[in-house]
Every structure is written in structure tokens, then in C-alpha cells.
Structure 1
Amino acid sequence: MRNIRARNFLLAGAVGLLVLHLCKDFIDHKTIRIDVREENSHIRQPTTENSYVYSWPSCQQNMSAANISGFSSLPGGIKDFLYYRHCRHFPMLLDLPDKCGGVDKSADIFLLLVIKSSPVNYERREVLRKTWAKERLHNGVWIRRIFISGTMDSGFEKKRLNKLLELEQREYNDILQWDFSDTFYNLTLKQVLFLEWMERNCPKVRFLLNGDDDVFANTDNMVDYLQSLKDNDGSKHLFTGHLIQNVGPIRSSGSKYFIPVQVQESNSYPPYCGGGGFLLSGHTALVIYNMSQSITILPIDDVYMGMCLAKAGLSPVSHMGVKTAGLHIPSSKLDAHDPCYYKEVLLVHRFLPSHMYLMWHRIHDPNLKCGASKKLL
């Protein structure tokens, strides 16, 4: 009897320790998930190995979305978007709290390059670091660089990609990463998260280039253009690029840009600039962030920026040097990659990494001679 009691006592103790251990893990997990945004560590590990964009406990699925008329006929990606479009806060995995030198010193950054990049696009990031996104002093002002990213895949592959970004972060100090799924429908989320980060860490930056990692950006020309704005040092409104207006949602379900009425009822969009790349002032970036707090997220990020501008009573303007739809070459017999076509522009979408590297060096060749017929502006 004494042995049985002893065994029962030991068994109860073991069970108690196991329960205590599990509770501690649960509490620790919840603490990490909720408090990770308050930490200031340089690099943070993912909260869970298999966490996905919608698995964060603080952001629950909005089941009432399924009651929307016609919901069952929508594509899976749109359904997921509607279930979780209210989710705006995700843990940071990689942070750069001192990138701008502090709140006050952020005014020393004339042009901040904010480049949207998915974890798998390592080659693009490497080429950009050596070409137009190189951090440098140009015309007496500083150009700085930040890549913004989410996460991809799950399990071991997600862990490997996160490790890749962590290694890049250690070497270059230029990546912001959040624990959400880096997909097309989450591009607006990525923008909003960056603007929140900027408002906290880099509010006095003068100007920003917001663009994709597959654009060719002549950042030297951008600095020249921005410095020519004699009445604007970044403290006034500026939002310029490839202006798109008098268009509305694409209702064809086969389109990448499909927006059903369940996502937006209106058949028109406000004026906006193509999301491949646009320039804006620090002042306007903060205005957009403030407006975004009361505007429901739309999955088309460039349109969403236009919606924020419209609510603020501001307008985007066209810049003929921004070609997010690509360059129009006068004849098929001409070399579409002749550097003379690109020497005067601000931005062209899209470029392969190898073409990007070559073009940057060709337009900076001191022996390059361009006649008037080779200039497209």
C-alpha cells in the first residue's frame, strides 16, 4: 500500500510539473506574440515555426465575412482577404530602429528608398545594393535604403528564408520584416506597416521613393529633381509618378487585379500613381498614414494610397520621367536597352537583375554620348 501511494504521489507530481511546463509555454508564447512589437532588439526570431499571416492570436478570423452576399462564389484568395482585412498589427522579425539616426536626425536623410521585396528575391536585393539603391552622398545629400518584407512558405523553408534575411540584415542593416504572408493581396498591409514604422522611427525624412525591387530607378536624377523644388524641402505635399485616373475596379475574376463588389462597391477609383514606383514627401507619407487609420484596406496598394490622398484633399501628379508601364521605343529595330533612353528618366518598370546591373553602369559611363534622337523625354 505504501509503494502504491508513493507511486501515485510521484505520478501526480510528474503530471503537475508537465501541466506547469505547458502553461508556462503557453504564457510565454502569448507574451512573445503580444509584446514582440514593444521590444527594441535588432533581430527577432519568428514567433512560431509554422505561423502564417492569419495565425496571430490577436487577430481572429472575422467569421461574419461569410455572410456577405455572393461570398461562397469568390476565389479563395479574396475570401481570405475578407476574413482578415481588419488585421493591421503583426510582430516584427527584423527591425531598424536606428536606421534614420533617431527621430530628430531623420531630417538628415534627403531620399529614403523604400523597396518592396519578397524573401526569395535575394538576387534583386544584391544588385540594387550595388546600383541605384546604393547608400551614398549625392549632390551633398544622403540617400538611404530600406527593403520591406513579410514571410513566405512554412516549416523549414520559411525558416530558411527568414535566416537568409537575417544574414542580409547583419551585413547590410537594410531590412524590415514582419510576420505576415508576403503575397499580392498583402501589399497594402506592407505599405501601412512601413508607414507606421516611419512615423515612429523616421518621421522627418525629406523625401521617399516607394517602389518595387524590379524597377530601374535613376536615383541621381531623382535627387536632382527633388532639389529643384525650391519651395518644398519635404515639409509640403508631393506625390508624383505615373498618374492613373478615370479608372475603376477590374471585375473580371481572371485578372490579377480582380476586385469584386464584395471588396469594393464603387465602380471608380480616385486618381493614383502606379505602384511600381513613385516619389513623395515625408510630409505626405505621414498624411497618408494618418488617413489610413480610418480607411478599410483594399488589396491594390497603389489605389489605396490614392484613396488616402483623396480623403486628405490631396492629389497625385504626373511626372513624365516615371515609366511604370515601361518605355515606348519608337521602332522595333532599335535597341530597347540603349542606355541613352534611360539616362534622363527617373524610373522604368521592369528589369531583370542582370539588365539592371548593366544599365546602371552604362548610363554612368563617362564616354556615353547621346544624340537628341535617343532622348524619350
Structure 2
Amino acid sequence: MAKLDEMNTMLKDLTDAKGIPGNEKEPREVMEKYITPYADKVYMDNLGSLIAEKTGNADGPKIMVAGHLDEVGFMVTRIDKNGFIYFQTVGGWWSQVMLAQRVTIMSKKGDVTGVIGSKPPHVLSAEARKKPVEIKDMFIDIGASSQEEAKEFGVRPGDSIVPYFEFTQLKNEKMLLAKAWDNRIGCAIAIEVLKQLKGEEHPNTVYGVGTIQEEVGLRGAKTSTHAIKPDIGFAVDVGIAGDTPGISDKDADSELGKGPQIILYDASMVSHKGVREFVVDTAEENNIPFQYASMAGGGTDSGSIHLTANGVPALSITVASRYIHTHAAILHRDDFENAVKLIVETIKKLDNDKVKEIVMA
């Protein structure tokens, strides 16, 4: 594998970190390491979301840029007498992407490797082989011979189970393959926005946030937004790519490498008209490519951000990704870099007058 540059090293550190909802400590520590040099202060809310604050003008508006730290995974619920692990999904999973995949159980004695198994097709009836295996019929094999041995390995109910996959730069070096792009890419955007604002004048205070528990109900966005009380909020996340076989334009029409997605609508919110139009105008003025997208199902942290206190004008800006909520997804580095550029150029113009104008749009 080619030697990773500084940016891809950060992306590798973020995606390789293990953190399902309720146990985001590893990715939070990685994000804290990378964002601290560019922030005036870094702190946490009481649930564990990371908040990095950078002041341009203390009398100006507060601008929140939030990616979520958690990734979809599983949790140990019981260990049977033969040492097999049963689990609860944490976040949304499609059963067809799970079988025979390697996982890591984060036990009190350290990481334990396992593989997701089920009854083999050789012993199923012809009719049963035609049907997908249900998640409730899956288990994890860690090579233990008994419940006692599994416990000796350190495994116990409540332990986090994380998909195993290492960050990989593909032959087309702008195409990046990793677990947890949903949503370590959002955390990387928040880091890079603060980095690019270092030494720049901006008429506001910017908050780069790594929220927790997005995948189970946009929960960390609620508490961190309450802590910040922003005037404008941006959720940065992944979106659906429509450039793989079998997907029609009416399902999804975004393509990797064609720019960040401006989310018009999702199941958690209708994007704020004033914020959306201002961001689109900024993109066009600066020749930054972008794509429109909407998602009938699913939501982003904007769903919680915009309903906090007496309301926060908010918009989701996402990076099109293939194969999200699996062990390995693909995105395009140009889309990441253009998302950062778009948010930075937007922030530079968000003074008190502009925010008042946006709110009234």
C-alpha cells in the first residue's frame, strides 16, 4: 500500500478507531488529538459528545459543525453454554451484509476476534436456503469451547462488538475504502474546517463537534446543541451514492467525485430554506461542485439540532458513499475536501447581519 499522506493518516486513524453508540471513547480520543491544535478550548457534554470551540468574533453568531463519532455495530447480550456469542444490533443493519464477517469484541481484557455465523446451508432445506438468514438466528464464534472459556477471554454481556476492516486506499487513490465512514468523515470535516480557519478572520465562533449515539436516535446532537446554543447548525455526514449497478436516478442520483450533497429533505427534517440557499449561493460563487440529494428514510444530526431550544436553522451537508452500514464503504476524497471548502467559505460570511437575514428567509 502506498504511504499515506497526512490527511489520509488522519482518516485512517478515525475510521480504524472502534466506537459503537454508547462507547465512543476511541474515536473521541482520536478526534480530540487532531482537533485540539486548532481550537481555543475543547470539552465534552455530560453524555460524551466532544465540542471544540474556536472564536473569531466573540460577539458574532455561534456556528455548529457536527459529525457523529459512533458507527453501527453490535452488543453482546448472552453467551451460551458452548461459548457462542449472541448479540443485539446497535444501529441499522441489513442481514445480507453480515454473515461470515469478522468482528472485534471490546472485552474488559482487550480485543477478542470473532466471526458472525449461522446454520450452514448444507443442513437447510431447499426452501430455507432461498431465504435470507434472520439476524436473530446469527451468532458470533470466538473460538471458545464453553461459556466459562468465553468469560475467561473477558467477554461479558454489554460488551461492544465492532466490524473489523482496515482503511485502504484503492488503485484510484482518491477512492477510499474503510469501515465507519458513517460518520468519521463528518468528524474529519469538523477537524479540517477548524484547521483551515486557523489564522483566518471569521465573524463568529465555530464549534467543531463529534456527537455520540446518532445511529440510535440523534441523541448526542440534542445534548451538545443544548450546551452550545448555536445560531446556525450544520450536520456533516454520509449520503447515498447512486452510481453503482441497479440504482436508477429516481432512487439516488449522486455520484462519487461530483461534490458534496446538499440535503433538501430527509426523514428527520426539512432543510432550512435560508441556510440552504445561502450555502448554494456560496458554492456557486466559489465554483465548488455540489449535488442535491434527499432521503425518504433515515436522518442526520440536523434532525435534533434544528429542534433544540427555540429552534436552530440547520442544514445537512453530506459526502456520497457506497455501501454504508456495512463492514466497508467507499467515498471520494475530492467530495470530502470540497465539503470542507464549502463550509469554510460559508462560515467566513456568517456575521450577525447575515444570520438575521437567513433566519427571516
User: Shorter-normalised TM-score: what interval?
Assistant: under 0.3
Higher relative contact order (CA 8 A, sep 6+): 2
Larger helix proportion, structure 1 or 2? 1
TM-score between both structures, scaled by the size of structure 1: 0.25
TM-score between both structures, scaled by the size of structure 2: 0.26
Larger Rg: 1
Larger strand proportion, structure 1 or 2? 2
